[in-house]
Amino acid sequence: MTKLAERMKTRVFTCLVTLAPIFVFAGTAAGQDISPDHYEGLRYRHIGPVGNRIASVAGVSGNPNIYYVGAASGGVWKTVDGGLFWEPVFDDHPSHAIGALAVAASDPEIVWVGTGEPHIRSNVTIGDGVWKSTDGGSTWSNMGLGATGRISRVLIHPSDPNIVYVGALGHAHGSQPERGVYRTMDGGETWEHILFVDENTGASSVEMDPNNPRILYAGMWHVIFNTWGRESGGPGSGLFVSRDAGDTWRKLEGNGLPLRTIGKVDVCLTPADSNRIYALIETGDGVPLNGEETDNGELWRSD
């Protein structure tokens, strides 16, 4: 068998694996419950892109075939066929370190990229701010925030794509005034620094209530990266909430949250019940809840 024939054989096999679940569900009558048995044969598999760790992903609401992937130092990739083929769409720009991606729910042609990987790695590349595309990733414009270093999150208002929130960790190699949470009301032409704790604390996570875009949560992280290690945790770290679209913020304390100094904070919400908030908190401390120890901050009660 020639090498070309071998490659063709591999491609045919890949297509069959990809399409098999589609045939199963296509044969299911509309409205009929799908038996859990149909899922037993499904397995996670690698679909690319190859060559770099993935720092962020974003999809198009209502179209499961279109996804964007941001690599730690490999730029942005796009698929329009559910991952069968990936196209690099950010190669012509100075920074290929991607920290965050977001697609506007109200206009899937609007895509935002936050550069600079925010994760703890020894070989992280600093970014050059945020970029915006209005044509599905074909062309990009730099929208500022170049001094923020590493972008951890980009959030787009569900009905007004001109309102965007950005979580900035900072370059994190020392004190820096550009850390915190930013907001634009005009599509990135101007920015407000709406949450600043101190020069050693940046935003490790920012989330929007999926049922009320005026409610925002921010995980703030006191962190400094040195060549010999890192300083994680300090008075600035904490979980913050805004109930007026970012105009004012309040630090959540007590009610089961750790009492002693904490480090990195990640937060997420579910559309099914946005009153239930999940937080992953770096800490060795907990407080008793119903007579049981809540070590590592695993149990707490929101307000």
CATH number reported for the structural domain that contains residue 214 in this entry: 2.130.10.10
158 with 38, same domain: the answer is no
**Is the confidence at residue 294, as pLDDT, over 70?**
no
Between residues 233 and 25, which one has the greater pLDDT?
A: 233
Whether the Cβ atoms of residue 169 and residue 203 lie closer than 8 Å to each other = yes
23 with 65, same domain: the answer is no
64 with 173, same domain: the answer is yes
Q: Does 166 reside within a domain? A: yes
39 with 62, same domain: the answer is no
Task: Tell me 159's DSSP state.
Answer: S
**CA terminus-to-terminus distance, the chain:** 66
Q: Which residue has the tokens 């009660």?
A: 301
162 with 203, same domain: the answer is yes
Q: Does 303 reside within a domain? A: no
**Is the confidence at residue 231, as pLDDT, over 90?**
no
pTM of the full structure:
0.82
Q: Does 217 reside within a domain? A: yes
Domain residues for 23? 1-45
pLDDT level of residue 32 (50, 70, 90 thresholds):
low
121 with 213, same domain: the answer is yes
17 with 58, same domain: the answer is no
Please write the tens of the pLDDT for every residue from 141-157.
999 999 999 999 999 99
28 with 71, same domain: the answer is no
Q: Does 81 reside within a domain? A: yes
Number of Cβ within a 10 Å radius of residue 136: 18
pLDDT attached to residue 218: 98
Tell me the pLDDT of the chain averaged across its residues: 83
Task: Tell me 228's DSSP state.
Answer: T
40 with 79, same domain: the answer is no
125 with 16, same domain: the answer is no
